[in-house]
């Protein structure tokens, strides 16, 4: 039933290794986040059995149910929230996730920090940046990223790890590389300004290679591992 998942995971790992080699990078410098949104807990379990440990989710209700179903793996699985986050959902996310990649305003970050339970390790966060400048996309503008990053880095229960982007789909490898390069250059400039960042969360099923060539340290891959998503039910 879910044997395709182990096979697909292998294929994705090979794509990562090949792209890392092409970029003269150590393949272990690129972490794989398996995006399991819309797929059942059993599929997460199949990927876990095939050695995958980090999983990304977009929808709060769906993910909390899945995390509960997989409670026996707690401590071994890492959960990353990567979807749009409204302020009335921050508490559930602060209590259930290890990472949030989609922070794009201070109010959300402040709530996550305040609602992170005492005794839990700091919540790892990435700032989502709108590198393509699309009106409809969430994310802070590149021009506002530095001030927001400094404000978030000062919050007690968060650890600002880096930047995340979801670039517009593009055809050729060169076109795909451009927005990823802009995100990497932005991260370089934040680091030059004293922020200690180590994570560039970019690259999805269609553009893993372009993202790795431009320095991605974490690729977020759904379709190429779990298959096409069905939103009809
Ligand atoms: C769904 C999603 C992904 C995975 O996309 P695929 O094209 O299925 O690999 C990655 N990142 C974010 C933020 C997503 O919402």
Determine the distance separating the centroid of ligand 1 and the alpha carbon of 51, expressed in angstroms: 20
pLDDT tens-digit series, residues 32-51 = 999 999 999 999 999 999 99
Determine the distance separating the centroid of ligand 1 and the alpha carbon of 59, expressed in angstroms: 12
pLDDT tens-digit series, residues 114-134 = 999 989 999 999 999 999 877
Residue 220 Cβ < 6 Å to ligand 1: yes
Instruction: Report the C-alpha gap between 123 and 120 in whole angstroms.
Output: 8
Atom of ligand 1 nearest to the CA of 102: 13
Mutate to test the pocket of ligand 1, among 35, 203, 211, 216 (most ligand atoms within 8 A of CB): 35
Determine the distance separating the centroid of ligand 1 and the alpha carbon of 223, expressed in angstroms: 8
- Enumerate residues 6+ apart whose C-beta is below 8 A from 216: 30, 180, 200, 201, 202, 203
Determine the distance separating the centroid of ligand 1 and the alpha carbon of 76, expressed in angstroms: 22
pLDDT tens-digit series, residues 133-185 = 777 678 999 999 999 999 999 999 999 999 999 998 888 999 999 999 999 99
Residue 138 Cβ < 6 Å to ligand 1: no
CA-to-CA dists, residue 183 to 13, 167, 193, angstroms? 23, 10, 15
Query: Residue 1 above 70 pLDDT?
Result: no
For residue 121, what pLDDT is reported?
97
For residue 40, what pLDDT is reported?
97
- pTM as predicted: 0.96
Provide the terminal-to-terminal Cα distance of the chain, rounded to the nearest Å: 20
Structure tokens at 174: 């060169």
Atom of ligand 1 nearest to the CA of 204: 9
Mean pLDDT (the chain) is 96
Residue 35 Cβ < 6 Å to ligand 1: yes
Residue 94 Cβ < 6 Å to ligand 1: no
- Enumerate residues 6+ apart whose C-beta is below 8 A from 75: none
If phi over 0 gives left and psi between -120 and 50 gives alpha, with beta otherwise, what is residue 135? alpha
Give the chain's domains with CATH numbers. Answer: 2-226 (3.20.20.10)
Instruction: Report the C-alpha gap between 3 and 225 in whole angstroms.
Output: 11
Determine the distance separating the centroid of ligand 1 and the alpha carbon of 39, expressed in angstroms: 13
Residue 223 Cβ < 6 Å to ligand 1: yes
pLDDT tens-digit series, residues 50-73 = 999 999 999 999 999 999 999 999
């Amino acid at each position: 039933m879910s044997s395709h998942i182990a096979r697909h995971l292998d294929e994705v790992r090979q794509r990562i290794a090949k792209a890392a080699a092409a970029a003269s990078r150590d393949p272990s410098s690129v972490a794989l986040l398996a995006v399991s949104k819309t797929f059942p807990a059993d599929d997460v379990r199949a990927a876990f059995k095939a050695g995958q440990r980090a999983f990304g989710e977009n929808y709060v209700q769906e993910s909390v149910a899945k995390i509960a179903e997989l409670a026996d793996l707690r401590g071994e699985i890492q959960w990353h929230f990567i979807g749009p986050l409204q302020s009335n959902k921050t508490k559930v996310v602060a209590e259930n996730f290890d990472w949030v990649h989609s922070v794009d305003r201070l109010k959300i970050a402040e709530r996550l920090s305040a609602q992170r339970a005492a005794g839990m390790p700091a919540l790892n966060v990435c700032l989502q940046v709108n590198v393509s400048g699309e009106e409809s996309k969430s994310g802070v503008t590149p021009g506002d990223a530095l001030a927001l990053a400094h404000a978030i880095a000062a919050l007690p229960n968060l650890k600002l790890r880096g930047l995340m982007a979801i670039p517009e789909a593009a055809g050729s490898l060169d076109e795909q590389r451009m927005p990823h390069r802009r995100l990497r250059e932005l991260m370089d400039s934040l680091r030059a300004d004293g922020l200690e960042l180590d994570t560039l969360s970019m690259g999805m099923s269609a553009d893993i290679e372009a993202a790795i060539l431009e320095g991605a340290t974490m690729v977020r891959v759904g379709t190429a591992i779990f298959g096409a998503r069905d939103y009809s039910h």
